[in-house]
A and B are shown apart, each in its own frame.
Chain A
Amino acid sequence: MGDVAIRVRGLRRSYGDLQAVRGIDLDVERGQVFALLGPNGAGKTTTVEILEGYRARSAGEVSVLGHDPARRERSLRERIGIVLQSTGVDPYLTVRETVELYAGFYPRPRDVREVLDIVGLSEKLDARVLRLSGGQQRRLDVAIALAGDPQLLFLDEPTTGFDPGARRQAWEVVRNLASLGKTVLLTTHYMDEAQNLADRVAVMARGEIVAEGPRRRSGIGTSRTRRSGSGSPRTISRCRPSSPRPRSGPPTATSCSSPTRPGSCTRSPVGRSGRGSSSRGSR
């Protein structure tokens, strides 16, 4: 189990007739930053919540740091840190007290000041949480997740709703986490976020992983750079499988033979406006 932090095979989750996750495979190596990229409704949050132990799965095998998260073992919770999509902390405690509170749940917590340094909240040490801006609260969320010195961090949509400045600061935090050797699994619907942060990106849509590969400087499967202001649909390139999906047998992770060859991919607009620019390519 040495190299693999997360291993998923054939994960499925249905709610009655609705199939939120339709058989996906994932491999996340230790020390890697892995981005699950896709539009809202793709099944990213459902997948991550299954990995975090909040949701049961309908089928498939999941191993997170060697544990099955469905068993909700305490020893697993001691080694992971979770940043949920929505925030929620007691507004009347200070930043320091909040991190201290959560640090105390773990057997080998990190020093509180150090944690706040990593997320860039050092000057807010003794500020009440209700005085923090939205971006600062999100960084507090990361601090809380980091307080127990986890090996693996889950970040669900870490910068949704951020202005570009706050976004860049948040990215800095994630880079800090990576440089600490943490394994990070983040979900996002921002292509540039995946491009900037992740070692490896899997694109998810409608419950399936439609593309996966290492981050490329020119972006996943596109040769065109497009700037869009807020309000226009974000374009995500999607790959059609080179062969029809097999009806029997385990589903495969990559349904694209070559995700980064422009000619093999089609593009379709995904109907959600994003914030900030959607320029692809390295900055």
Chain B
Amino acid sequence: MRDLRLALRQVRFTNRAFWRNPAAAFFTFAFPLMFLVIFTTLFGNADVRVPGTDPVLVVRQSTYYVPAMASFAVITASYTNIAVSVCFQRDAGILKRIRGTPLPGWAYLLGRAMHAVVVSLILVAITAAFGAAFYGTDLPGGAALGRFAVTLLVGSASFAALGLAVTAIVPNADAGPPIVNATILPILFLSDIFVPVGTDPPAWVDVVGKVFPVRHFAEAMQSGFLGTRFDASDLLVALAWGAAGLALAARSFVWEPRR
């Protein structure tokens, strides 16, 4: 279909612009590695009980953080970065201009989302390689690799859809980063990404983890690296959130800057 080809073409142009901003590109990829090093340095090589495992799996902090930071990287690239950059493009008048061309809106947004998926793939590859090289992390192999790839695709696509949806509540580009971070950071903290939640968290923390897609995604990513049990329902939760994001974006996406 012609419009699908246009969407893929959009990925190419978005990608070109992305790499020509070397500072932004560099820090996109350095970000998760930076966090990985910081966390492992701060918390030393102590052991951590992986939440949600039964019988309890105990691994080193660094081993735990590799999939956690990979998940964080995917969410940053797919959700946060898309939301913030779309808000800037909107205020700059780029989206309005696109809307005046024959390119269908969905094709443009699909192109942005696909680019985010590509960036996520590269990020995870880099994080995994770094983890394998410096922290002796196991990489997913065999059947687990297949499930891991699906997890990655479903996760990044769903978070990208949510990133596009959230732009509807951002009034202008300057408010973008604070608002988007306010929506995602608390959930990240409560979903075992930065700190594995302790042995006896309050019940509501568990509810947050169950309701939102972050912990589900993180656990699916974890199973690729740590060999914990893979639960397909985790992907379904992420997919459901992605579909909701898509529906919301289809209804409420704002193409013009608000005066």
Q: List A residues at the B interface (Cβ < 8 Å).
A: 52-54, 74, 77-78, 80, 82, 84, 86-90, 92-93, 97, 101-102, 104-107, 128, 144, 148
Contact = CB atoms under 8 A, between A and B. Distances in A.
A82 B100 contact: yes
A54 B101 contact: no
Contact of A89 (B6, B94, B104): B94
B1 to A, nearest CB: 14
A92 B18 CA distance: 8
B185 to A, nearest CB: 28
B133 to A, nearest CB: 32
B145 interface: no
Contacts of A86: 93
B17 A90 contact: yes
Interface string B68-101: 0000000000000000000001001110110111
Interface of B: 6, 9, 13, 16-17, 20-21, 89, 92-94, 96-97, 99-104, 256
Given A77-B100, A104-B6, 12 more contacts: A54-B99, A54-B256, A80-B100, A82-B100, A84-B96, A88-B94, A89-B94, A90-B13, A90-B89, A93-B17, A105-B102, A148-B101
A155 to B, nearest CB: 13
Nearest to B10: A101
Contacts of B92: 88
B17 A74 contact: no
A106 B96 contact: no
A88 B16 contact: no
Nearest to B103: A105
Contacts of B6: 104-105
Q: Which of B21, B101, B256 has the most CB of A within 10 A?
A: B101
B92 to A, nearest CB: 4
Which 5 residue pairs spanning A and B have beta carbons closest together? Answer: A88-B93, A88-B92, A92-B20, A92-B17, A82-B100
B101 A53 contact: no
A80 B102 CA distance: 10
A135 to B, nearest CB: 17
A128 B99 CA distance: 23
B97 A144 contact: yes
Given A87-B93, A92-B17, A78 B102 contact: yes
Contacts of B256: 54
B100 A101 contact: no
Nearest to A89: B94
A272 B167 CA distance: 36
Contacts of A87: 93
